[in-house]
């Protein structure tokens, strides 16, 4: 097998002063931050679909990037060439994990039995490479949104036959995830949502999605999958309204259908902002509900307002993401998957590496700054003091549930007029953040 990314060296850490575009400035894999190496804290993953399949096609023009890797696109040879490219890429950039959809790995055939045969062959080859190169699978999933049959959704489709196809794809994608020793299995809503309530039975569709997920859990546990199932919330795109709108909506759905013991959430930065939330908000809501599973590491462009899947660049966002993750005790079966792609004008193979260098450095710096913020202690101390009125007296009784509306009303009457709340001091706290970030 010949080298695909010719001229690209092993990407090494050179430090913040380095001006070498093909070197890490902050990501130093063996450096220990908050008790673990960066490599262990960050668990970066390559998304097969963006890195090895996406060429930059958009509504106005075809692809700009050549991802043929020396083979004819759409053939099995191409599928195998993508494996070679993917493993060479992961090795050179120093990423340990990858994530995949079933049909990222092989071209889909007209008959599902043929597609599955192709999947067997290509996944055998991937497994060989994983063993030889020590690479791991973070999570797998099935693409239940691209093919015409999923125009009305998969689990939410009005067609029971389509539902069967979704089940078949999940079954096979789980088989492969288990074969790879994958630690997660993702359900991203894809087209699980609606365009119009005029033709949609929302309750019926949500019940069916839950049934499909329940069958996936039963099957997965039956074949030895011990990792986490994840829902990846997204409010819209491709559907006008998607059922897994945001973290809170998804948690409610999982609890409603008794799936919350097997599922956690995979939070994607760009999906959070599409939902009108910050990335940190979605992480916090997941964490306080014990549902923080994994992260799709990217960022959107607020001026564009759609799912642009850019490589992470905003250090405030990566810092607050790592702040939430560190405070939650880390990601157990999850990691940081670069569900991110180069901009269409960044079309060279070298740009693929530069995208990952940007993303990995942005998160490495975010990890360093998050750890500094936590160790600085001023944010925690302020927040703790802010609720001090609940540590004793009537406040403590409210917290322990040992009071009543009558007692509280009597206390208010005794006070006569409302107490003044303390200042939120947001501007002071933002200055604290800046002094830690740039001090």
Residues between 95 and 114 that touch ligand XUL (CB under 6 A): 101
Spatial separation of the C-alpha atoms in residues 249 and 193, rounded to whole Å: 13
Contact 185, 140 (CB under 8 A): yes
Report whether 183 contacts 333 (CB < 8 A): yes
- The rounded distance, in Å, linking the Cα atoms of 232 and 276 is 16
268 binds ligand XUL (CB under 6 A): yes
> Contacting ligand XUL (CB under 6 A), which of 28, 205, 228, 232?
232
Q: Which is nearer to ligand XUL, 13 or 263 (CB)?
A: 263
234 binds, among ligand XUL, Co ion, none (CB under 5 to 8 A by kind): ligand XUL
Quick one: which of 324, 318, 327, 330 has its CA closest to 365? 318
Shorter beta-carbon distance to ligand XUL: residue 296 or 310:
296
- Give the nearest residue (CB) to ligand XUL: 188
- Which of 175, 282, 339, 371 is the binder for ligand XUL (CB under 6 A)? 339
Residue 191 is a binding residue for ligand XUL (CB under 6 A): no
- Name which position in 296, 310, 324, 361 contacts ligand XUL (CB under 6 A): 296
Residue closer to ligand XUL, measured from CB, 184 or 366: 184
E strand map for 102-216: 136-141, 184-188, 193-194
Query: Measured from the CB atom, is 141 or 318 closer to ligand XUL?
Result: 141
Strand partners, 295: 267, 336
What minimum distance in Å lies between the beta carbon of 298 and Co ion?
7
Task: Tell me the β-bridge partners of 232.
Answer: 188
Q: Cβ closer to ligand XUL: 186 or 285?
A: 186
Task: Tell which one of 52, 54, 178, 186 touches ligand XUL (CB under 6 A).
Answer: 186
User: What's the angle, vertex CA 53, arms to CA 89 and CA 141, rounded to 5?
Assistant: 95
> What are 23's two structure tokens?
């070197």
Q: Which does 289 bind (CB under 5 to 8 A by kind): ligand XUL, Co ion, none?
A: none
> What's the CA gap between 138 and 275, in Å, rounded?
25
Going by C-beta distance under 8 Å and a sequence separation of 6 or more, which residues neighbour residue 162? 149, 150, 152, 153, 154
Residues 6 or more apart whose CB falls under 8 angstroms from that of 378 comprise: 429, 432
By a kind-dependent CB cut-off of 5 to 8 A, residue 247 interacts, out of Co ion, ligand XUL, none, with none
| Closest separation in Å from C-beta 338 to Co ion | 10
Least distance between ligand XUL and beta carbon 417 (Å): 52
Site for ligand XUL contains 246 (CB under 6 A) = no
Q: Does residue 177 interact with ligand XUL by CB under 6 A?
A: no
Nearest CB to ligand XUL, comparing residues 206 and 308: 308
Q: Mind telling me the catalytic residues?
A: 101, 104
The answer to whether 234 contacts ligand XUL (rule: CB under 6 A) is yes
Interface contacts to Co ion, rule CB under 5 A: 268, 296, 339
CA distance 430 to 327: 19
Distances (CA, A) of 108 to 77, 310, 355, 426: 14, 27, 28, 53
CA distance 349 to 414: 72
**How far apart (Å, rounded) are the C-alpha atoms in residues 242 and 234?**
7
| Residues lying near ligand XUL in the complex (CB under 6 A) | 101, 141, 186, 188, 232, 234, 268, 296, 307, 339
């Amino acid at each position: 097998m010949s080298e695909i990314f010719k001229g690209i060296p092993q990407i090494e850490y050179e430090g913040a002063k380095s001006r070498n575009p093909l070197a890490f400035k902050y990501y130093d894999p063996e450096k220990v931050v908050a008790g673990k190496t960066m490599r262990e804290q960050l668990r970066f993953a390559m998304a097969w679909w963006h890195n090895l399949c996406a060429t930059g096609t958009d509504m106005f023009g075809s692809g700009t990037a050549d991802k043929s890797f020396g083979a004819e696109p759409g053939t099995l040879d191409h599928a195998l060439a993508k494996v070679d490219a993917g493993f060479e890429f992961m090795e050179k950039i120093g990423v340990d994990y990858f994530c995949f959809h079933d049909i990222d790995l092989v071209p889909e055939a007209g008959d599902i039995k043929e597609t599955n045969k192709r999947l067997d062959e290509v996944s055998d080859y991937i497994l060989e490479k994983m063993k030889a190169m020590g690479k791991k699978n973070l999570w797998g999933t099935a693409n239940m949104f691209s093919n015409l049959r999923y125009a009305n959704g998969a689990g939410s489709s009005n067609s029971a036959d389509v539902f069967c196809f979704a089940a078949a794809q999940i079954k096979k994608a789980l088989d492969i995830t288990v074969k790879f020793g994958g630690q997660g299995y993702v359900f991203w809503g894809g087209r699980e949502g609606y365009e119009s309530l005029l033709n949609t039975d929302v309750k019926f569709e949500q019940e069916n999605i839950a049934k499909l997920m329940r069958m996936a859990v039963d099957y997965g546990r039956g074949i030895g999958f011990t990792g986490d199932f994840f829902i990846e919330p997204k409010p819209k795109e491709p559907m006008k309204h998607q059922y897994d709108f945001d973290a809170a909506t998804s948690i409610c759905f999982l609890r409603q259908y008794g799936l919350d013991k097997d599922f956690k959430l995979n939070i994607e930065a760009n999906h959070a902002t599409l939902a009108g939330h910050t990335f940190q908000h979605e992480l916090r809501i997941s964490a306080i509900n014990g549902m923080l599973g994994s992260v799709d590491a990217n960022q959107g462009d607020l001026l564009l307002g759609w799912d642009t899947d850019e490589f992470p660049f905003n250090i405030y966002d990566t810092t607050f993401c790592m702040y939430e993750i560190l405070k939650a005790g880390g990601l157990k079966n999850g990691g940081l998957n670069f569900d991110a792609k180069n901009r269409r004008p960044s079309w060279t193979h070298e740009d693929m590496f530069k995208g990952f260098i940007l993303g990995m450095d942005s998160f490495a710096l975010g990890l360093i700054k998050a750890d500094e913020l936590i160790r600085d202690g001023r944010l925690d101390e302020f927040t703790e003091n802010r609720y001090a009125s609940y540590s004793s007296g009537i406040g403590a009784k409210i917290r322990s549930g040992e009071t009543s509306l009558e007692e509280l009303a009597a206390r208010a009457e005794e006070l006569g007029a409302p107490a003044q709340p303390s200042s939120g001091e947001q501007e002071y706290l933002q200055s604290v953040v800046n002094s830690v970030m740039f001090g």
